Amino acid sequence: MLRDPSLVVLSHQHQHALALCVRVDRALQHGEEGREELSSDILGLWAAEIERHFVAEEKMLFPVCRKAGMAQLVNELLAEHEDLRACVKRIDVGPVRLEDVRHFVDTLSAHVRKEERQLFESCQKLIGPAELEKLGIAIREFFE
């Protein structure tokens, strides 16, 4: 299904997060032990985009989704946000443990896919066009 324009900004950010996950996963699979470099990549995208992305979802998207009947899914996603925040904190404080890097990559990848495949698809089916447009404007303004 094509992504509604109101969700495109968030969807593009998901692509950036998945690209990070792929890069880090490949490095881990090839036995590259550059823990500091991997953690730097994670912390860099976290600071530049992911944390703000989570805030936008929590303040703008999730309340609309709850009203549309997606409370259980929103609760799962919020728990994943908290898990990822805790993981980033462990990575930031150090020493960097590969299991934390692996957990972050696996959790973020699954989280993004859940939002794309379940949350966004449900949004496009359950939220009316006018409400989606209003949401999209708020999201775009948040990131300007």
Model confidence over 45-88: pLDDT tens digits? 999 999 999 999 999 999 999 999 999 999 999 999 999 999 99
pTM for this prediction? 0.93
Q: Whole-angstrom Cα distance, residue 96 to residue 115?
A: 28
pLDDT value for 108 = 98
For 98, residues 6+ apart whose C-beta sits below 8 A from its C-beta are 28, 33, 35
Angle at CA of residue 35, ends 13 and 24, nearest 5°: 35
Average pLDDT for the chain: 94
Q: Is 13 exposed, middle or buried (0-12, 13-18, 19+ CB in 10 A)?
A: buried
Q: Residue 41 is encoded by which pair of tokens?
A: 């990549």
pLDDT value for 123 = 97
pLDDT value for 32 = 58
Decide if pLDDT at 34 tops 80.
Answer: no
**139: CATH:** 1.20.120.520
Total number of domains constituting the chain: 1
Decide if pLDDT at 33 tops 80.
Answer: no
Decide if pLDDT at 30 tops 80.
Answer: no
pLDDT value for 37 = 83
Show the domain range for 33: 5-143
Residue 126's CB is within 10 A of a number of other CB atoms, namely: 15
pLDDT over 90 percentage in the chain: 84
pLDDT value for 1 = 62
If one compares 94 and 102, the residue with the highest pLDDT of the two is: 102
